Chains A and B, each alone.
Chain A
Amino acid sequence: MKPEVLEALKKYLFQLADDELIIGHRNSEWTGLGPILEEDIAFASMAQDEIGHAQAFYLILHELGEQDPDTLAFYRSYKMFKCCHLVEYPIGEYDFSLVRHLLYDVQEMIRLKALSHSKYEPLAHLASKLIREEKYHYMHAVTWFQQLSNGGEEARIRMQNAFDLAYPLAFSLFEISDYHAILEKESFIISEKELENQWIQEIQSIVQKTPIIMPSVEDKTLHYGGRVGKHSEHLEPLVNEMSEVFVIDPTAKW
């Protein structure tokens, strides 16, 4: 592999892993506080899945010469993260977390499907494996979103407000950076633009079955920056809290 391709591949793997780790950590904040026991368990379990996905992507990075997954997750400055702004935002109320879960996991499903055809074999192999777990996340998100949006007046208004807030943020998932073009040329990935188009269509077809109105987004680049280390104000405190125990003694055996 040419050095510039390897460099681009690593950046992309950090993008994937960091998105998964941060959304997983955010959603895990609901553990014990979910609206009902059954949903609490389901949401916590999916959060754990996402952190597992992050670990698997960090492991590929480790095989490419980076440090071990724990060190990559807990011992980097927040400035080195490549996650997007959508995953950084606080959990808010449950409506926001559910809508973000929908927007994020529909994106993940589409991305993993595309990656399962990647010319970079380890990524294609891993993506095909993760799709199985992702299918449940997709079902969970879509079922909840449609149930609540078609429910009572309060539920519909809450879902609409959460959607208005989260949807413009979600375009940060598809921020284009310099490394993407290099990987497209190698057929390692399809373009962020193409993923974004597929995602918009999929979200539209889900929203059509509800009274929710899709807000128009004038500037999709408004929340860009995550892929080049320019983060929202919410990431630094999250990373500090997440790594709090690890940094006390990084050599501790668990």
Chain B
Amino acid sequence: MKFLDPRVNRLNLPKEYNEGFEEAQELDQWQTYEVFHQRSRGEQHVHVGCVHAPSAELALLFAKEQYARRSKCTNLWVVKTADITPSDYEDEDIFIPSVDKTYREAYGYKVRPLINTFTQNSSSESVVKVFIQEITNSKGKKTYIIKK
């Protein structure tokens, strides 16, 4: 049995779960729309869930009540669930690197707090040239310090 919600089909449920249901008629259920919520302008839209709706316009109206009632919202997107092409969980291993590639991870660049501290401590009037020095400790952990 094919379900109207493609996410259910993707689950590949065992046959016994499919027995005893009447075959769904065309338009038996509305299609689903995925909802993306933007908290304030400039921020990214974040996926928050889905709604059933007969049209994109109504999906937006439903999304407002389901997902934008209790927290700040400035904009919503709705996208037909069927229009999303997912990767396969069977292929999850493609995301796991075989060799150490931590150099690609940008964790070391979190220098904003340091820059903020530095700016607060220095006079706002004078322009000071600074450079950032990378220090690796004995355990291989990298830290950064700001020098004048």
Contact = CB atoms under 8 A, between A and B. Distances in A.
A37 interface: yes
Nearest to B59: A38
A37 B58 CA distance: 13
Residue picked from B51, B55, B65, most chain A C-beta under 10 Å: B65
A77 interface: no
A39 B55 contact: no
Interface string B49-74: 00111110110011011100100000
Contacts of B3: none
Residue picked from A37, A42, A147, most chain B C-beta under 10 Å: A42
Contact of B51 (A38, A136, A144): A38
Contacts of B30: 36
B52 A37 contact: yes
Contacts of B64: 42, 136
Contacts of A139: 61
Interface in A16-41: 36-39, 41
Interface string A94-138: 000000000000000000000000000000000000000000100
Given A147-B54, A147-B55, A147-B57, A38 B69 contact: no
Contacts, number: 32
A167 B52 CA distance: 30
Contacts of B58: 143-144, 147
A247 to B, nearest CB: 32
Nearest to B50: A38
A136 B64 CA distance: 9
B57 A36 contact: no
Contacts of A140: 61
Interface string A142-158: 01100100010000000
B6 to A, nearest CB: 18
Contacts of B51: 38
Contacts of B55: 147
Contacts of A143: 57-58, 61
Given A140-B61, A144-B58, A41 B66 contact: yes
A169 B61 CA distance: 27
Interface string A224-239: 0000000000000000
Contacts of B52: 36-38
Contacts of A177: none
Contacts of A39: 62
B66 A38 contact: yes
A39 B69 CA distance: 14
Residue picked from B57, B61, B66, most chain A C-beta under 10 Å: B61
Nearest to B54: A147
Given A37-B52, A38-B66, 13 more contacts: A38-B51, A39-B62, A41-B62, A41-B65, A42-B61, A42-B62, A42-B65, A45-B65, A45-B69, A139-B61, A147-B54, A147-B57, A147-B58
Interface of A: 36-39, 41-42, 45, 136, 139-140, 143-144, 147, 151
7 contacts: A38-B53, A41-B66, A42-B61, A42-B62, A45-B69, A147-B57, A151-B54
Interface of B: 30, 51-55, 57-58, 61-62, 64-66, 69
Q: Which 6 A-B pairs have the closest CB atoms?
A: A38-B62, A42-B65, A38-B51, A143-B57, A45-B65, A140-B61
